[in-house]
């Protein structure tokens, strides 16, 4: 396997590692077929925490929903009697 600058590549983040077996088994084209369009391919892991009604981690196709839909849908919105005060998006795109 040849990585960046013709050197071996080390994958050191969990999100990439969890996709490797599926990409090896089904191929890169399969993984790229997941997502909204050519520029948003594959999946992304989103963690919902804090005062969300349903704190969880979700793996979703890139571009499949807005941040609001993610918080209010899988996250269940804020706990009863609480207000949503802030959202901190801290996602980086994985280029597998």
Domain boundaries, given as residue ranges, for the chain: 11-72
pLDDT in tens, 4-40: 777 777 766 778 788 889 999 999 899 889 888 778 7
- At residue 8, the pLDDT reads 74
pLDDT in tens, 39-49: 878 888 888 88
Task: Indicate the SS3 state at residue 72.
Answer: helix
Mean pLDDT of 73-93: 82
pLDDT of 3 above 50: yes
Phi, psi torsion values for 62, nearest 5 degrees: -60, 135
pLDDT of 87 above 50: yes
Which tokens is 12 given? 């050191």
């Amino acid at each position: 396997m040849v990585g960046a600058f013709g050197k071996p590549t080390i994958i050191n983040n969990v999100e990439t590692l969890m996709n490797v077996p599926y990409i090896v088994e089904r191929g890169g084209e399969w993984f790229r077929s997941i997502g909204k369009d050519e520029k948003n391919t594959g999946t992304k892991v989103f963690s919902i925490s804090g005062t969300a009604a349903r704190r969880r981690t979700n793996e979703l196709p890139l571009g499949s929903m807005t941040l609001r839909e993610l918080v209010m849908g899988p996250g269940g919105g804020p706990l009863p009697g609480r207000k949503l005060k802030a959202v901190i998006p801290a996602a980086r795109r994985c280029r597998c």
